[in-house]
Structure 1
Amino acid sequence: MQGLSITEVEIPDSVDADNAADFLACVEVRSTVWAHDSGSADEVRPADEMLPVWRKQEHEPKRMLLARLDGRPVARAITEYRAGDTSDTAWLHVEVVPEARGRGIGAELAARAEVLGREVGATKFIVYAPCWKVGGPRLAAPTGFGDVAADTAETRLLQRMGYRLEQVERGSRLPLPVAREVIDAMRADAERASEGEYRIHSWTGMTPVHWREDMAQLITRMSTDAPSAGLEEEEDVWTVERLIADETITAEGPSTEFTTVVEHVPSGRLAGFTTLIAPDDMSRPIDQDDTIVVREHRGHRLGMLLKVANIAYVQDARPGHPRIVTYNAEENRHMLSVNEALGFEPFVYEGAWRKDVVGEV
């Protein structure tokens, strides 16, 4: 396309660095896309909040492309993968500002992102694509849970490029604050179901030293125990060293992690955890990060216990945030039932698409 240029973005050490211009332009593209498509400022994030994610390159390498049309930033693409010789998956993402759509820029960036994936040996590509359209023809997920619009530009492009829909995720919001009497009643009910064998602990920021080994194992289980349908996402192994490095970088940014864990008292080991990430800007929503109860401890309402305890914890520590935002697989009916009981309401559905490239040149 005449006037289109695509360059790879150098990740700066800070947003004030001399080489930060392209990174800042990509953040602006992201904010423009989300604000337009969602009609909300919830995902309009400052660059200093986004940068820590991009500085975590040792275990989760990420590359980003910036597209300019006649010199103006109009789109970006991301290729993310896992370090290690056994990794076979790349996660791709493309965003184009509204006024530049319909010109083939998204298709060109998607193809370039796939090239970056092939360079690191990926034989499987996964794309998570938000679907904002309601009504009209639908494409159902093979899991039997959820669907996306069948006639959007994103759906048509993904199918044309050989991707198939495997899963649908639901984005939900919970208005804050949740009334304390509601939280207390739900926590008491969940504690009765746990039969006195489990104990809650909460902390802010870095994981306490004596829980680091258990937390590393729980985060690893996120990649094997969470529903992944036909995506067949590979195990992502976490060590204590990786946990410390990850939390150190996060702590350098303008956000705070609030974590609640549940200890299995007879064994003294952690059975699950949940983390909320609260930005320093009180006008912005809180992100629900990982939540898991490992398989061998399910059936005791620990998911509910973790969620309500952590919401109470963050509300006491940081009152004033407008809402919590979370994403869950549509077939994860247990966690969705917990969220619905708390008052979460859906605002978007996201298709998870897969493409296998074994044998392609």
Structure 2
Amino acid sequence: MTDFIIRGINVDSDEEMRQLNELDEACAQDIYGASQKSTVDERRAALAPSAYQKTERFVAAVSEGDAERVVGIAICGMPLYENKKTAFIGLAVHPEYRGRGIGSALAERLKETAHAAGRTTLDSWGEIPADANADDSTLPVNLIARRLGMEKKNVAAQKTLDLPLPEGKLAQFEAQVTEKIGDYRLETWTDGIPENQLENYGILLRQLELDEPTGDHRNEAPEFSADRVREIREKQKAMGFRDVITVAFSPENEIAGQSEIIYNTNEGTSIGFQANTLVMPAHRGHALGLAMKVANHRKLEAVAPHIKVVVTGNSSLNTQMNAINEQFGYKVACQEIAFQS
């Protein structure tokens, strides 16, 4: 049995931020075979408070000689404007320290924290191997969920795409969408979202929340004001992320959809993240989703050739996006189970 303690995160400690970066890298390598490098200041920015959510954070630490080593992290996010009775919880344990009770202890601390704050619903996602049976009661995530009184509500998949894409693949996709998009036009942004588009982008983000097939997983979709979108973007920038965003505009110049990839440029980073792709309901049927993803990958290859793997996540119920991702060549890295109490 490993001796460990659970305590609050010391955001003022550069050493603790460095160890949290190492924990993040180890977990990413374990799942995706790739990771991103973050600086101490970027990790601190990731833990910074938000005007839209109260967050409590904990670490699990073990003794190594006269020093501590952080081997686990747990986060309890409590929205302030929607889902006011829900706590969104998540945890991660270093691959070398799993199976020693650390995850269970972190989960119990999260449950106590949520209940003390008057949050009656727990909401979380748990990763399982790509070939696992999500109903297997012996899986660690299912054991922890049962202890917390949570049930499976949906199953999704985290998928990876190796880059660069095979020669000619993007040109093949472009030929498929050229006629279908008609008079719609695409713009690709690499310097963030223009100030005059923040409100429109917020409408897209809310629609994304409304449209995502979630099975029995139920939450209230947030409202994304221009200020809220601005806070999200400023935090991403402070965390070291850059982005490639392609948006579609209708012939009437209405914003019709978006697709976004985020990544950082720190030496040693090899992974990027497909954040989201959405086409507004009134503008579907013109292959805009595929067109925007193609434009994004064109630009990503040009501005970030160091990115060798892109990660995306989709509900198993999202047949349209799963079909597009299959065309690109995404492969399942792991499954994710959505739990709620």
Distance 2:137 2:327 in 1: 30
* Equivalent residue, structure 2, for 1:358: none
Q: CA deviation at 1:5?
A: 2.2
The reply to whether residue 165 of structure 1 matches residue 160 of structure 2 is no
The reply to whether residue 234 of structure 1 matches residue 227 of structure 2 is no
User: Which amino acid in structure 2 is aligned with residue 205 of structure 1?
Assistant: D
* Equivalent residue, structure 2, for 1:22: 16
Q: Percent identity?
A: 23
SS of equivalent residue, structure 1 residue 231: coil
Taking the TM superposition and a 5 Å limit, the aligned residue runs for 1:47-62 are 47-55=40-48, 57-62=50-55
Q: CA deviation at 1:315?
A: 1.3
1:185 to 172, 185, 191: 172
Distance 2:287 2:25 in 1: 37
User: Which amino acid in structure 2 is aligned with residue 52 of structure 1?
Assistant: A
Q: CA deviation at 1:207?
A: 0.9
SS of equivalent residue, structure 1 residue 178: coil
The reply to whether residue 276 of structure 1 matches residue 261 of structure 2 is yes
Change (3 A) 1:182 1:133: closer
8 A Cα contact 1:77 1:109, kept in partner: yes
Taking the TM superposition and a 5 Å limit, the aligned residue runs for 1:100-115 are 100-115=97-112
Q: CA deviation at 1:44?
A: 6.4
Taking the TM superposition and a 5 Å limit, the aligned residue runs for 1:173-322 are 173-179=160-166, 181-194=168-181, 196-266=182-252, 268-281=253-266, 283-322=269-308
Q: Which deviates further from its counterpart, 279-288 or 95-104?
A: 95-104
1:122 to 119, 122, 130: 119
Change (3 A) 1:157 1:320: closer
How much is the aligned-residue C-alpha RMSD, in angstroms?
Answer: 2.5
8 A Cα contact 1:202 1:261, kept in partner: yes
- What is the CA deviation profile of residues 32-78 of structure 1, one whole-angstrom value per residue up to 9, with x for unaligned ones? 3443x437243665544444332252223332101223444332211
Q: CA deviation at 1:170?
A: 1.1
Q: CA deviation at 1:95?
A: 2.1
User: Which amino acid in structure 2 is aligned with residue 341 of structure 1?
Assistant: Q
Distance 1:171 1:86 in 2: 25
Change (3 A) 1:201 1:152: same
User: Which amino acid in structure 2 is aligned with residue 30 of structure 1?
Assistant: D
Change (3 A) 1:30 1:308: same
Distance 1:49 1:85 in 2: 27
SS of equivalent residue, structure 2 residue 216: helix
User: Which amino acid in structure 2 is aligned with residue 5 of structure 1?
Assistant: I
The reply to whether residue 8 of structure 1 matches residue 8 of structure 2 is yes
User: Which amino acid in structure 2 is aligned with residue 155 of structure 1?
Assistant: N
User: Which amino acid in structure 2 is aligned with residue 157 of structure 1?
Assistant: I
Distance 1:43 1:165 in 2: 30
User: Which amino acid in structure 2 is aligned with residue 91 of structure 1?
Assistant: F
User: Which amino acid in structure 2 is aligned with residue 83 of structure 1?
Assistant: L
Change (3 A) 1:81 1:192: farther
Could you tell me which runs of 5 or more consecutive residues in structure 1 were left unpaired when the two chains were aligned.
12-17, 141-148, 356-361
* Equivalent residue, structure 2, for 1:145: none
Distance 2:24 2:134 in 1: 26
Q: Which deviates further from its counterpart, 238-247 or 337-346?
A: 238-247
Change (3 A) 1:255 1:181: same
Distance 1:231 1:288 in 2: 22
SS of equivalent residue, structure 2 residue 178: helix
Distance 1:307 1:327 in 2: 14
8 A Cα contact 1:9 1:23, kept in partner: no
Q: Which deviates further from its counterpart, 229-238 or 245-254?
A: 245-254
Change (3 A) 1:62 1:315: same
Q: Which has the higher contact order (CA 8 A, sep 6+)?
A: 2
SS of equivalent residue, structure 1 residue 129: strand
Q: CA deviation at 1:239?
A: 1.0
Q: Which deviates further from its counterpart, 181-190 or 338-347?
A: 181-190
Distance 2:319 2:255 in 1: 23
- What is the CA deviation profile of residues 166-209 of structure 1, one whole-angstrom value per residue up to 9, with x for unaligned ones? 11111111121224632123123223223x24110111132113
SS of equivalent residue, structure 2 residue 201: helix
8 A Cα contact 1:131 1:348, kept in partner: yes
Taking the TM superposition and a 5 Å limit, the aligned residue runs for 1:10-159 are 10-11=10-11, 18-35=12-29, 37-38=30-31, 40-42=33-35, 46-55=39-48, 57-70=50-63, 71-84=68-81, 87-132=84-129, 134=131, 138-140=133-135, 149-159=136-146
The reply to whether residue 336 of structure 1 matches residue 329 of structure 2 is no
8 A Cα contact 1:173 1:323, kept in partner: yes
Q: Which deviates further from its counterpart, 214-223 or 277-286?
A: 277-286
Q: Which deviates further from its counterpart, 271-280 or 252-261?
A: 252-261
8 A Cα contact 2:38 2:266, kept in partner: no
Change (3 A) 1:317 1:246: same
